[in-house]
Amino acid sequence: MPLERLSKFLAQTGVASRRKSDDIIRSGRVKVNGRVIVDPFHHVDTERDSVTFGGKKLTLSTHHRYVALYKPIGYISDLADPKGRPIARHLIKLPGHLFPVGRLDYNSEGLMLFTDDGEFANLLMHPRYEVEKEYLVKFSGRLTEDHLRRMMAGVPVEGRCYRAKHIAFVRYTTANAWYRITVTEGRYRMIRKMAEALSHPVLKLKRVRIDGIVIGQLKPGEYVHIDPSKVRQHLGRVSQHNGAPAS
Catalytic residue IDs:
105
Angstrom distance (rounded) from CA 9 to CA 5:
6
For residue 135, the one-letter residue type is Y
Per DSSP, which regions of 86-142 are E strands?
A: 99-100, 109-115, 133-139
DSSP letter for each residue of 151-220: HHH-EEETTEEE--SEEEEEEE-SS-EEEEEEES---TTHHHHHHHHTT--EEEEEEEEETTEE-TT--T
**Residues 189, 191, 92, 59, Cα dihedral to 10°:** -60
- Identify the sign of the CA torsion 156, 162, 167, 173: negative
Judged by phi (left if over 0) then psi (alpha if -120 to 50, else beta), residue 151 lies in: alpha
| Contact (Cβ atoms closer than 8 angstroms) between residue 186 and residue 126 | no
Any idea what the Cα angle at residue 167 is, between residues 161 and 170, rounded to 5°?
Answer: 145
